[in-house]
Structure formats: C-alpha cells, structure tokens
A = this chain, B = another copy of it.
Amino acid sequence: MKMSGGVEWGLHCCVVLSGAGAPVTAAKLAELHDVSQSYLAKQLQLLSRAGLVRSTLGQSGGYVLTRAANEITVLDVVEAIDGVQPAFRCTEVRQRGPMAVPAERCDTPCPIARTMDSADRAWRESLRRVTIADLIADVNRTTPPEILSGAREWLRA
C-alpha cells in the first residue's frame, strides 16, 4: 500500500502558494522543490480540477489558492491527488465458490468491510482536522526566518 508521492508535493505547493500573494508558475514551484516540473504540473492539474487552486493563463500567470489557508484541509489535498476511493475494496468473495452466500442475503455489508470502512473513516477524519494554516504556523515556528524571507524573495524574482 503506497500513497502517491505527489501528495507531498501538493501540500508543499499549497503552503508556498499561501505565502505568495501573486500567482506562481508550475516551473517556479518545481525548481524551488527540485522536482520534475512536468510531473508537478500533473499534480497541480489535479488540484485545479478539485477546485483547490485556480490557474491563470498567459504572461504573469500561474496558480493561486481559491480559499483561505484555514479553509483547506490536508484531507482535501490528499483526496484531490490520491483519489477518494478507500484503500480496501471488497471483491465479494462470499458470493463465489461452492459455499457461496446467495446475493439476496448480502444486503448488509459484511463485518470485514465494515471494519475496514471504519478504519478508513478514522484516517480521513484525522486528516480533516489539520488545515494548511496549521501547517504554515508550524513551519513558521520551526524554520529559520532568513530561509522563509529568502524563499519569498526568490519566488518574486
């Protein structure tokens, strides 16, 4: 089980975008994080489709957040990039084989599916509690100020 690595990039991009007032291009973001700009573009497309960021075309274009940082949860980003379907997918094994349970008795989800679903919900709920604003606050507290201002300056250039 492996989550898309693009989630990490997406979260970093949201944090950076929140700090920069002007639109930032995908190329800039890619260079700042030293990752493939083509692939990062794909992740930004996903964020755009989910309505988390808005893209501006043409010169001096780029990406901007559509909402305030405290209105975007980590779960929003994860679901935008990694998808919304849960990790566990039941294949209805109980309806196959010689001792199959008839389909009309399978109206209620089996205990296995319920357990997995409950765990998945706990996971998502945990991610929903943290917003981009929380991340920013933590970054501001733990990162040397000269690096923060330097990065902001580098973005503007």
Q: Which residues of A contact B (CB under 8 A)?
A: 1-5, 7-9, 11-12, 31-35, 74, 82-83, 87-91, 93-94, 96-101, 105, 108, 110-112, 115-116, 118-120, 122-127, 130, 134-135, 138-139, 142-144, 147, 150-151, 154
Contact = CB atoms under 8 A, between A and B. Distances in A.
Contacts of A122: 122-123, 125-126
A136 B3 CA distance: 31
Nearest to A111: B138
B105 A144 contact: yes
A70 to B, nearest CB: 14
A9 B93 contact: yes
A144 to B, nearest CB: 7
Nearest to A12: B93
Contact of A143 (B1, B5, B31, B101): B101
Nearest to A16: B99
A32 to B, nearest CB: 5
A106 to B, nearest CB: 10
A111 B87 contact: no
